[in-house]
Structure 1
Amino acid sequence: MTKAARAHPGSWRMWKQLSAMAQGLSMWFSGKLEFVLSILEKMQTQEILRILRLPELGDLGQFFRSLSATTLVSMGALAAILAYWFTHRPKALRPPCNLLMQSEEVEDSGGARRSVIGGSPQLLTHYYDDARTMYQVFRRGLSISGNGPCLGFRKPKQPYQWLSYQEVANRAEFLGSGLLQHNCKASTDQFIGVFAQNRPEWIIAELACYTYSMVVVPLYDTLGPGAIRYIINTADISTVIMDKPQKAVLLLEHVERKDTPGLKLIILMEPFEEALKERGQKCGVVIKSMQAVEDCGQANHHAPVPPQPDDLSIVCFTSGTTDVGPSSCCWYPALDESGVAKWRDSMDWEV
């Protein structure tokens, strides 16, 4: 033991502990800052203070000379890791407004408030003049992407497959034209039910409706059979596009009981058996595959009938406290998501 170590036995023991820890860290110090910090957090405050009690300055040189080269390298590596973290650690974002006052009252509104970020009390309906409806928003995406990838999907543990913008646009026009060939109208008076989980066909069906000014009405399993029956009758839905044959059976049961006499056409995204088609014929419901309707539309193509900015686009029924919830109607100005871009561009985020 050196003279410095004998003069300060407590500090010597603490430094030996730190040296041993540093030697272990030298084997994997690169990229292991989180582990080092977790070790330091677990140490008691008094123990850290004891470790930091250095020898007298006059003996410091002799103390370091007594350490092995491996220990010194390990300590240097630890110091480098800490220095790198302190100089490159993430910095907090400065918010764009006072978080204690994020809204302000609108003049002559009876107490209504608006965000202070917008900069204008006028309701934002669109950002680009050529994107005032969801149909125009999609066409703008097709244009500025150069027919880039639009819809991606994959099976479990499989890579993504992509449909391009033009592929989606073509399928939407074919499906929409097929709907017109099956007695649907290119009008906001035509309500089309979509009863499916999230998948590319859902978006294609939605875009088909927008392409020919029809109104989308989503249906959900969680609403329950009673609510689905109510929505079909209230919205006067004659056509429902759905994913699974089991859901078609549910709707056919309503028709067979005369609960939904207006339902005339079911379009299925997935394959189904001939027996299901025959069951539908017995109660006056035509059942066709989505691909068959698209093929029909491709053979009998209709020019798009785009909606106007003030037209109705979608009707969503919510699940209320009773079996049937209220409906929410959305017009295109409320759905124009390009308005988000204006809000984002107005942000002045500072680091």
Structure 2
Amino acid sequence: MDSILRATSLLRGDSTHPPIYSVEINDDPEVAGEGRPRVNAAAVRAKSLPITSASFISSLYRNFDHAVQTAGERPFLGSRPVTNGVAGPFIWLTYREGKQRVVNFGSGLSRLLDGIKEPVERHVGLFSANRPEWIIADQACHMYSLVSIPLLDMIGKESLIYVLNETEMPVIVTTSDKAKMLLALVSEKKLPHLKQIVLMDGVVDYEVQAMSHGLNVSVKTFRELESDGDRNPRPPVEPRQDSVATICYTSGTTGVPKGTILTQENMLSLMKGVFLLEKLGRFCGLRNTDVYISYLPLAHVFERTMINCLIHAGASVGFYQGDTLILMDDVSELRPTIFPGVPRLYNRIYEKVMSASTKGTVMGERIFNLAYKTKQMNLKDGVVDHALWDSIVFSGIRQRLGGRVRMMLTGAAPISKNVLDFLRICFSAQVYEGYGLTETCSSLTVTDGLDFSAGNVGVPVPGLEVKLVDIPAMRVSSNDLPNPRGEICVRGASVFKGYYKNPEETAAVLDAQGWFHTGDIGMWDSEGRLSIIDRKKAIFKLSQAEYIAPEKIETILCLHPLVAQAFVYGDSLKSCIVAVIVPERISILGWATRTQSAHNKSLQDICQDTDIQKAIVKELEQHGRANGLKGYEIVKAVYLHPVEFSVENGLLTPVMKLKRFQAREHFKGQIEAMYAGLR
């Protein structure tokens, strides 16, 4: 407790000395056009870095072995069996049971690869929604020094062909529905390297059997490999720290996928940083009693890195059923203590709760407002609990996520202060926001556990250096005052080794000194915290030479209760910006009835009503100015789109980031019509 109090004192500073969260280092000579690298201040202030349980873990295999030793009989992986279309309670596999299944599957998988007649790459594809078998297969790869290559559950056919052929992948672990797609491609002679398909399903269904007949591809079940490995066990083949652990293909928003090579050391580095932050009093820590809901794509590095951390702690991971439409049913059944999310999901929870708070009795609304303001004041002192208000006002809200959440994680896009405060107040949770890329093996910065500010993504994870590099063409400089700006560059243990079979792209972003140039533009604030301005490629210039950061504007627009999603666009030959808006269905139907006399109109009718579109423009102008947007950042025309952007319709990546190029092409006609209407 004393160390935490000392850390709190250093962090918060006083009236004379403001808190500083990151500090400059002067080990390297100063370089023109670059800011000094900054590192985590808490780590620097520690006279000697504390030893943690993760300090001497040398591989992901050893990390799992550590968990089995410390949490052997505790629940490890949980899923809900479905009988006659009804999901039952979670069924759990213990760590010790999980270890035996990993050994059996890994032994069977090694034998399977050895049985392929011609020489093959030791590459294993993982292609399914999140489920226990995914983790078992991945851990087996680490235990037997195989390279796992995750494939996005919603990957397009062309990208799938590209990845499998570039990696010369001989084996894929998947499900029956995807096996049919793979076999169809094999029959078309588009996957010459694929030799084995391993089905996570219990049996090989008739259609898969029929499709595989006559093809040079064998189909086995997961259980068959486990049984073979049980009869013919093999000793683990421990990887080195510099061994390739995985090749993660970025979904990206343009171009062909790039395979990011991540080593065992890369994959462990964030975990080590997280447990170090706990020791330094800057992170609330992971416990073996924690329960985590896994629904963000395992093919993305954040979810895998998070699960590596949870495994180290001996915590429990429960999997959703694979359908986000019934995610909250799984959450209610699981009652997680740690909930990961993206701003879009948190915004929806915020809007529903705050809207409901105004629809009860006058007395009820007054009590809610009093409770909310009281807890909001307490946030200044780092307090998220309140014995009275939590029990009589916020307990019902907490039940929306099962009632036990103590930690919430957010990333992938900016989140507003209002929503951050809301999460801390209504769920009594510690909320951490991170920023990172596949190339940095998830987070390169994370918010400090003792800092409840908003509008930043925190400070470098211990072990990483972050600097800003000038972009003269955009008038962005690391010497800007009061806030230095520039392209975010990072160096350290989590930075990837390069793109698979792509030295040109590697050289374009990874320099000779080991700095990875992220392509994101950032800014340091006066207390050493990093804020993200936007992707360098996303920023555009209007005809009057003003630069527009669209993500910043979209984030503000999505705080309006009528807006569910937004895509901001600007033509470099025009002096203003326009937006495609997906309205929040319930909110806009009510608003249109009350203010636009749109009685009995459907959402489609409302979206097509030109008077309503003009009224929305006025609403968003007022909202934008109230939230600090400049005149040139105000949208001058909107197209109301009744269908949400989604992974399925190709407008979002699997982590819910907007695909700008695809959105621009998809709405090309509407964009032209908006600009034509402004003449």
TM-score (norm 2): 0.35
Distance 1:283 1:126 in 2: 52
Structure 1 residues 150 and 221: CA distance shift in structure 2, 3 A: closer
Task: Give 1:113's aligned amino acid.
Answer: R
Q: Which residue of 2 aligns with 1:291?
A: 223
Instruction: Write out aligned runs for 1:267-282 (5 A).
Output: 267-270=198-201, 271-282=203-214
Greater RCO (CA < 8 Å, at least 6 residues apart): 1
Q: Which residue of 1 aligns with 2:44?
A: 119
1:236 to 168, 175, 189: 168
SS state at 1:266 partner? strand
Distance 1:152 1:112 in 2: 43
Task: Give 1:254's aligned amino acid.
Answer: L
Structure 1 residues 125 and 285: CA distance shift in structure 2, 3 A: farther
Q: Deviations over 1:136-176 (max 9, x none)?
A: 01110111124322112224653222111121111111111
- Please state how far the C-alpha of 1:327 moved relative to its aligned partner: 2.0
Residue 174 (str. 1) matches residue 104 (str. 2)? yes
SS state at 1:222 partner? coil
Q: Which residue of 1 aligns with 2:257?
A: 325
Structure 1 residues 123 and 201: CA distance shift in structure 2, 3 A: farther
Residue 344 (str. 1) matches residue 269 (str. 2)? no
1:161 to 61, 67, 91: 91
Residue 151 (str. 1) matches residue 77 (str. 2)? yes
Structure 1 residues 293 and 117: CA distance shift in structure 2, 3 A: same
- Please state how far the C-alpha of 1:252 moved relative to its aligned partner: 1.2
Question: Percent same amino acid among aligned pairs?
Answer: 29
1:140 to 63, 66, 72: 66
Residue 194 (str. 1) matches residue 194 (str. 2)? no
Ranges of 4+ aligned residues in structure 1 off by more than 3 Å: 93-96, 98-101, 120-130, 348-351
- Residues paired across the two proteins, number: 257
Distance 2:50 2:128 in 1: 31
Moved more, 221-230 or 272-281: 272-281
Instruction: Write out aligned runs for 1:1-351 (5 A).
Output: 97=11, 101-107=20-26, 108=28, 110=31, 111-119=36-44, 128=54, 130-155=56-81, 158-184=88-114, 190-243=122-175, 245-270=176-201, 271-336=203-268, 337-347=271-281
More helix by share: 1
Distance 1:288 1:330 in 2: 29
Task: Give 1:112's aligned amino acid.
Answer: P
- Check conservation: 2:68, 2:96, Cα contact below 8 A: yes
- Check conservation: 2:184, 2:211, Cα contact below 8 A: no
- Check conservation: 2:198, 2:222, Cα contact below 8 A: yes
SS state at 1:150 partner? strand
Which has the greater radius of gyration?
Answer: 1
Distance 2:178 2:240 in 1: 33
Q: Deviations over 1:251-306 (max 9, x none)?
A: 11221222110000000111332341232232211011111111111111111111
Distance 1:113 1:325 in 2: 31
Distance 2:248 2:136 in 1: 18
Q: Deviations over 1:303-331 (max 9, x none)?
A: 11111122111111011233522222211
Distance 1:95 1:288 in 2: 59
RMSD: 3.2
Task: Give 1:347's aligned amino acid.
Answer: G
Distance 1:316 1:124 in 2: 32
Distance 1:127 1:285 in 2: 44
Unaligned runs of 5+ in 2: 1-6, 13-17, 284-381, 384-679
Distance 2:151 2:282 in 1: 40
More strand by share: 2
SS state at 2:281 partner? coil
TM-score (norm 1): 0.65
